[in-house]
Amino acid sequence: MGLFNSNDRDVRIVGSQDLHSGLPYWLVLNELPFSHARLATDLHTEVVIIGGGITGALCNYSFSSAGISTVVVDGRSFGTGSTCASTALLQYEIDTPLRLLIDLVGERNAVAAYQLSVRAVGDLKATAQRIGFDQFTSRPSIQYASKPSHAKQLRKEFKLRQAHGLPVQLLDGKEAVRTVLPFDASAALRCETAAETDALAFAQALHKASVKNGARMFEHTHVVDVREVKGGVEILTEQGHRIRAKYMVYATGYEALDQLPGDVVDLNSTYAMISTPMDPVPWPDQALIWETATPYLYLRTAPGGRIIVGGRDEPFRSPKLRDALLAKKTAALQRDFSELFPEIPFRTEFKWCGTFGSTKDGLPYIDSGPKTPHCFYALGMGGNGITFSALAAELIRDHILGRAVPDLELFRFDR
């Protein structure tokens, strides 16, 4: 879909992609506690958000809490796209290490992006507490060297982060690593600023709080066209209803690719599985664990003594090809787990796969569209999608409120 004018009425539905397959654990765990009607009338509002997953939910809560009149529409039930497939490891570390990000965007911008990510993790925790959401748990994050040769990279990364005041601890040598992990690695970085959550339940709780703030929400409402109008934007739904707003925010993840300038995002498929309950969880502090290899293996715990294992990413080609690899990829993930924990039988209860976008530098896109100053994109790409979404909600909110937002320059499409 592209923005249209009076002579351009080619209809494309926003938010209609196949985002995941298998049986995501969070979709089984969470009932949909409340539902919203399909839009059945024309509306006026200050901001309309397209997409009711975790990104749209964070924007909804941020905007409505600030007194901004907000409407959210989604072609699905809220949270049943990418959000229900998210493994929700919340870390300030960006997929691109600081030492490499500096080469891509410069030291000042790279450090600023990392500092903003640290703040975003704290903001997410504060938001969860504010709305009374108790399925948000602080955890340490541990990145271990996949190979002995990677230890040098971690030492350099540690020195850079330490020099810029970022929270990090270096565990150098197998003996030091064994104090935090039950397997050998030549080095690891430990960070206390991290958390885990249930992204679907969090999104639901945020929307519920936003209703109390006056937000209006509509499910199963497909947007088929968007146009810039004087002083704002107007969207047209599949049922023929219109929403006029001063601003619009795309919170649809990679489904917004049709509207993006150029080839700015690479699509990847990722795979995950969750175990039956284990007792006890086999590593200290139930830390979030990930490695230095690319693509990386990642592990986290879940309530009830379960363990989530994910990774084995590869370039996305089509939903059919992605889904066909589910059994093979999760079998490989099970072998990966067994190599680290040979004494622990991992019994898979649910497994799933999903599609996500990544950028050339690992940073999100938070920007207005080309020649569309009233349309914003909140696109948290890569492994930090929820953290980046929290940043997007804050920065776009401040822009709408007329505040100076210099940090938006870090996340422009043309950076």
Residue 15, pLDDT above cutoff 60: no
- Segment 327-335 shows an average pLDDT of 97
- What pLDDT, on a 0 to 100 scale, did the predictor assign at position 1? 28
Distance CA 358, CA 207 (A): 27
- Segment 395-406 shows an average pLDDT of 97
Does the CA dihedral 223-405-106-164 come out positive or negative? Answer: negative
Distance CA 310, CA 74 (A): 27
pLDDT tens for each residue of 16-65: 555 456 778 888 888 765 678 999 999 999 999 999 999 999 999 999 99
Domain of 142: which CATH number?
3.30.9.10
- Segment 198-208 shows an average pLDDT of 96
Query: Are 167 and 239 found together in one domain?
Result: no
- What pLDDT, on a 0 to 100 scale, did the predictor assign at position 236? 97
Query: Are 350 and 301 found together in one domain?
Result: yes
Query: Are 215 and 106 found together in one domain?
Result: yes
- What pLDDT, on a 0 to 100 scale, did the predictor assign at position 32? 63
Question: Hey, which bits of 17-119 come out as E strands?
Answer: 20-22, 43-50, 70-73, 89-91
Query: Are 233 and 276 found together in one domain?
Result: no
Query: Are 1 and 93 found together in one domain?
Result: yes
pLDDT tens for each residue of 240-276: 999 999 999 999 976 666 666 667 788 899 999 999 9
Lowest mean pLDDT, pick from 8-17, 94-103, 156-165: 8-17
Query: Are 27 and 119 found together in one domain?
Result: yes
Query: Are 26 and 113 found together in one domain?
Result: yes
Tell me how far apart the terminal alpha carbons of the chain are, to the nearest angstrom: 24
Residue 180, pLDDT above cutoff 60: yes
Query: Of 342, 358, 374, which residue is a domain's last?
Result: 358
Per the structure, how many domains does the chain have? 2
Query: Are 61 and 209 found together in one domain?
Result: yes
Residue 12, pLDDT above cutoff 90: no
Domain of 53: which CATH number?
3.50.50.60
How does the average pLDDT of the chain come out, rounded? 91
Query: Are 20 and 58 found together in one domain?
Result: yes
Residue 3, pLDDT above cutoff 60: no
pTM, rounded to two decimals: 0.92
Query: Are 14 and 149 found together in one domain?
Result: no
Domain interval for residue 219: 1-137+193-265+360-415
Query: Are 133 and 234 found together in one domain?
Result: yes
Q: Which residue has the higher pLDDT, 15 or 79?
A: 79
- Segment 225-230 shows an average pLDDT of 93
pLDDT tens for each residue of 155-170: 999 999 999 999 999 9
Q: Which residue has the higher pLDDT, 348 or 2?
A: 348
Q: Which residues pair with 49 in a beta bridge?
A: 72, 249
- What pLDDT, on a 0 to 100 scale, did the predictor assign at position 2? 32
